[in-house]
Amino acid sequence: MKKSERINQMLRFINQKQHFSLRDLMNEFQISKRTALRDVASLEEIGAPIYAEYGRHGGYRLLNQMQLPPISFSSQEIYALYFAMLALQSFTNLPFHVTFRSIHEKFINELSDSQRQEIENMKNRISFRHTEQIKDSSHLEILLMAAVKKIVLKINYQNANQKSTRTIQPLAIYSMKGYWYCQAYDMCREAYRVFRCDRVTSAEITNIKPFEDLNEMTIQNAQSLWRPSEKAVQFKCLLSLEGRELFQQESFPSMKLVQEMDNTYLVGSYEPHEIDFIINYFARFGKFIKIIEPISLKKALKEYYRILIDNV
């Protein structure tokens, strides 16, 4: 990192911390003590209101917050931002209803002619081949903000041919295989559930107090809340190496991989009404999966394949 760029970032760092030490600067910017001392001197030269505090808990303190200069990006950061935006093109819905086109136009207009030309040259040599968004999800913003602000929602949910009204506490939203999903706690069923966002036909804020135990839940650990019902069917399948790779590309909270000796098994459960879903999911594994149990699931998958063959 160039010194001018490091000093710019350091201004923002100390403006946020207010009180800092040389060790803080050394750790944050991966620099030596000598360099940190020189950088502090440079900050003072450009007018940063810093004064030294001596003693056991000494260091440096900012007298008051500064008016920071506009954020500037290096060429590499500009390229990284641009290609991150390209990944948004497949989503017709994004939280806050921000479209790729409006972001793209504002971004490009701020670039120099040489940067625009460089991006154009790079764009012709890179592509993102991922699944296009399949269905619109018109309630992404309220679902996300409910998760962020810990708000309980009343939603109407259309699942296949069945409509239901649910009271949920959203925990996180994510995108996978062309769909948006909402991880949430179902207040009525007292269980963790995942909802397809495009199937949420309405969402209203309630005055119901959220569960405090869920307040710190994130998209990474929300799956720990998953609990099968008493009617859930347990399954166990043998996977090949290729099957493991397919599982890693797409999996669900109700399933996991288990290693037994030299074999890898996919174990989990599904609710009785999810049989069509689980059959379609297993069918994607083709010859890379072998159902061990239950026998009824093995028969159902065989029947699925038979119907496919009859339709050829």
The Cα 143–Cα 219 span in angstroms is: 13
Q: Among 43, 34, 36, which residue's Cα sits nearest to residue 12?
A: 43
The answer on 176 and 213 residing in a single domain is: yes
Q: What CATH number is associated with residue 32?
A: 1.10.10.10
The Cα 190–Cα 204 span in angstroms is: 19
- Look at residue 121 in the predicted model and tell me its pLDDT: 81
Q: Among 131, 275, 147, 168, which residue's Cα sits nearest to residue 218?
A: 147
Using N-to-C axis directions, what is the helix angle for 22-29 and 33-45, rounded to 10°? 100
Q: Facing residues of 270 across strands? A: 233
Domain that holds residue 42: 3-62
Q: What CATH number is associated with residue 274?
A: 3.30.70
Query: What pLDDT tens digit does each residue of the chain (312 aa) get?
Result: 678 778 888 888 888 887 888 888 899 889 999 998 998 888 888 878 887 887 676 788 877 766 655 566 777 788 888 877 777 776 767 776 666 677 777 888 878 888 888 888 877 777 776 666 777 888 988 998 998 888 999 999 997 678 899 999 998 888 877 788 898 989 888 888 889 899 999 999 999 998 876 655 555 555 555 677 888 999 999 999 999 999 988 888 788 999 998 999 999 999 888 899 899 999 999 999 999 999 999 999 999 999 999 887
The answer on 148 and 113 residing in a single domain is: no
What does pTM read for this prediction? 0.59
Three-state DSSP at 312 gives coil
The answer on 96 and 163 residing in a single domain is: no
Task: Please say whether the beta carbons of 186 and 159 come within 8 A.
Answer: no
Tokens, residue 161: 């041919």
Q: How far is CA 247 from CA 47, 191, 205, in A?
A: 56, 24, 36
CA torsion through residues 130, 284, 224, 230, sign: positive
The Cα 177–Cα 174 span in angstroms is: 10
- Look at residue 242 in the predicted model and tell me its pLDDT: 94
- Look at residue 59 in the predicted model and tell me its pLDDT: 83
- H or E element, residue 174: strand 162-176
Is residue 135 domain-resident? Answer: no
Helix residue ranges per DSSP H, the chain: 3-17, 22-29, 33-45, 75-86, 100-109, 113-123, 140-149, 241-249, 275-283, 295-310
Is residue 299 domain-resident? Answer: yes
Q: Report the domain count for the chain.
A: 4
Tokens, residue 233: 């069917």
Q: What CATH number is associated with residue 158?
A: 2.30.30
Is residue 67 domain-resident? Answer: no
The answer on 94 and 22 residing in a single domain is: no
- Look at residue 96 in the predicted model and tell me its pLDDT: 65
Is residue 40 domain-resident? Answer: yes
- Look at residue 220 in the predicted model and tell me its pLDDT: 53
Is residue 256 domain-resident? Answer: yes
Task: Please say whether the beta carbons of 174 and 180 come within 8 A.
Answer: yes
